[in-house]
Amino acid sequence: MDLQTLTFIIVGATFALYIGIAIWAKAGTTNDFYVAGGGVPPIANGMATAADWMSAASFISMAGLISFMGYDGGVYLMGWTGGYVLLALCLAPYLRKFGKFTVPDFIGDRYYSKLARIVAVVCAIFVCFTYVAGQMRGVGVVFSRFLEVDITTGVVIGMAIVFFYAVLGGMKGITYTQVAQFCVLLMAYLVPAVFISIMMTNNPIPQLGFGSTLNDGSGMYLLDKLDGLSTELGFNQYTDGSKSTIDVFFITAALMVGTAGLPHVIVRFFTVPKVSDARLSAGWALIFIAFVYTTAPAIASFARVNMINTINGEDGQGIVAEQAPQWVENWSETGLISWDDKNGDGRMFYSGDERNEMKIDRDIMVLANPEIAQLPNWVIALVAAGGVAAALSTSAGLLLVISTSVSHDLMKRSLMPNITDKQELRYARAAAAVAVVIAGYLGINPPGFVAQVVAFAFGLAASSFFPAIIMGIFSKRMNKEGAIAGMISGISFTAAYIIYFKFVDPTGNVPENWWFGISPEGIGTLGMLVNFGVAFAVSKVTKAVPEEVQGLVEQIRFPKGAGGAQAH
């Protein structure tokens, strides 16, 4: 059976499954829509959290980044993994004990202020729209290749699917859809990795094959081979980094603390019955995430070696364009690979210096990996389904946060406190519908490649939410004036820095022009420090926190035996 037919069958079957689950799990109340009724089993919530967590950036772009950047790409792996541990251990149980199922809800009540809640709503919407742009872009990349449509059409198809099960099912539908999506994306990630590891190293475990010798008779280790290829072709040595130490630290820290402030992940811990279940589901999610994250460096390395060998040929002099492998032709039709015959010899050549004639989008590496390795068509189609599952699962979670922020935190808790449960649910669905359209536009016109856009979102979350949440839990002295001033200053500084270097003066986006050598991807860490500094300074010169709020903070520090999630 040809690849396109197989792709239609496998991707179509997963879509039917997702839509069927959404119909089965239709939300009838705001409690169902916001937190799935608070009754999701821990292992199922662990799978859903893993799917929510492993976005298109994790599935599509992270291995691509490592493949192209080598050691430098590891900052994304370290930051996202460390951030989840930070969230699971230091924030989730306490927020679950507090009983508020959205970040703006927590900030509004903890800082006893409607203004604080509204500032948090604005920050949540800003962060989520930045993040969802990367996911919709991922959907477009997958569809543009495997359904042979342009990226715009691919994004529109993704919008339609997300609209259906996010707007209809709310958190209840999203949760069980994400369980199915996790199973799809896990198989799609591991199956080709196992195949290629066996083909290249005779080791069926990709994590071990990554550090094994090649089976081509050379006796050379895979990473040594990559280092040699990289330096010969004008790239940095694969296992050495080119980023400055301070930039590596700031990017990793921004991704970590940004993770801990991501509202769509935090809300997952309110869908289980008890605090102990929140801890248990966090542990399950970490196990499930580890399957993919420990495989990413292996996939990156396998794909890099195979890509260079198939483009440059066995003699390393490039291949005749008419004899280019099928995968190059397939991806060229999407515009994500292009060739410029600079020397007119009719040969394709890929390098990191002036000899380079190939432009290859790093977001294609995981999706093209099984094609480069000439795996069976069903494996290629499975990877396409996995890429779509990763992008849609996170998109749905983000869109739910946006709709919840508008309907619950802005309308119900701030502007229209007397609306009924049905009216609130109607506002939530309307907000989700509008959010889908805006997200689609951002997916069609993204401000960068998938993982880069997502890194910006993490930086914005790091500079706005994380300090307010961590101080809200562990500091009885932090008052509303300090928290509001900190959030506004932190996210304003970070957004201004990113916008300047990415939109106002993109030609100046080079290390010598960055403040202290910190890139836009890492500036969220400095924004977080600005937030903390401003918050503490303002709190020192304004009124003390009321006694009852101090008592509330004291109570949530001991997250044993909390009750169920509430919908107010």
> Which phi and psi (to 5°) does residue 355 adopt?
-80, -15
How far from the centroid of its chain's Cα atoms is residue 211's Cα? Answer: 27
pLDDT value at residue 35: 61
- DSSP, collapsed to helix, strand or coil, labels residue 113 as coil
Give how far Cα 66 sits from Cα of 143, 178, 238, 342, 358, Å. Answer: 23, 26, 9, 27, 18
As a dihedral over the C-alpha atoms of residue 475, residue 478, residue 480, residue 486, rounded to 10 degrees, the angle is -100
**Dist. CA 2–CA 7, nearest whole Å:** 9
User: Minimal CA–CA distance to 147: which of 15, 250, 252?
Assistant: 15
How far from the centroid of its chain's Cα atoms is residue 83's Cα? Answer: 12
Task: Look up residue 485 and give its amino acid.
Answer: A
**Dist. CA 473–CA 93, nearest whole Å:** 11
CB of 139 closer than 8 Å to CB of 157: yes
**Dist. CA 419–CA 407, nearest whole Å:** 10
As a dihedral over the C-alpha atoms of residue 389, residue 393, residue 396, residue 398, rounded to 10 degrees, the angle is -130
DSSP 8-state code for residue 295: T
User: Minimal CA–CA distance to 140: which of 162, 169, 125, 172?
Assistant: 162
343: which 2 tokens? 């020397």
Provide the residue-wise pLDDT of the chain in tens; the chain has 568 residues: 777 788 888 888 888 887 787 777 666 666 666 666 567 888 988 898 888 777 776 787 788 888 888 888 888 888 888 888 888 777 777 877 777 667 888 888 899 988 888 888 888 887 777 777 777 777 777 777 777 777 788 888 878 877 776 666 566 777 788 888 888 889 999 999 999 999 999 999 999 998 899 988 888 999 999 999 888 888 888 888 888 899 999 999 998 888 777 777 777 777 788 877 888 888 888 899 888 889 999 999 999 999 998 999 877 888 998 888 888 888 888 788 989 988 888 999 999 888 899 998 887 888 889 999 999 989 988 988 888 787 777 777 777 778 878 888 888 877 888 888 888 888 888 888 888 888 788 778 765 555 556 667 778 888 988 899 899 988 989 999 999 999 999 999 999 998 888 778 888 888 889 999 999 989 999 999 999 999 999 999 999 999 989 888 888 776 454 444 444 4
CATH numbers and ranges of domains, the chain: 3-303+374-556 (1.20.1730)
User: CB neighbours (10 Å) of residue 555?
Assistant: 12
51: which 2 tokens? 């799917």
474: which 2 tokens? 């562990």
pLDDT value at residue 191: 94
Q: 245-260 and 523-540 are packed helices; what angle lies between their axes, rounded to 10 degrees?
A: 60
pLDDT value at residue 425: 80
**Dist. CA 126–CA 406, nearest whole Å:** 12
pLDDT value at residue 229: 87
For strands 337-339 and 347-348, give the pairing.
unpaired
**Dist. CA 440–CA 136, nearest whole Å:** 6
pLDDT value at residue 479: 95
162: which 2 tokens? 């997300």
Q: What is the pTM of this model?
A: 0.80
**Dist. CA 78–CA 487, nearest whole Å:** 26
Beta bridge partners of 347: 320
3 state SS for 502-526: HHHCHHHCCHHHCHHHCCCCCHHHH
In total, the chain counts a number of residues equal to 568
User: CB neighbours (10 Å) of residue 280?
Assistant: 17
**Cβ contacts of 543-546, under 8 Å, gap ≥ 24:** 543/479, 543/481, 544/477, 544/479, 545/476, 545/477, 545/478, 545/479, 546/112
Helices (H), 261-376: 263-266, 275-293, 296-312, 326-332, 365-372
DSSP 8-state code for residue 359: E
User: Minimal CA–CA distance to 438: which of 26, 170, 135, 61?
Assistant: 135
pLDDT value at residue 196: 94
DSSP per position, 232-292: HTTPPPTTS--S-HHHHHHHHHHHHHHHHT-HHHHGGGGSSSSHHHHHHHHHHHHHHHHHH
Task: Look up residue 434 and give its amino acid.
Answer: V
- DSSP, collapsed to helix, strand or coil, labels residue 27 as coil
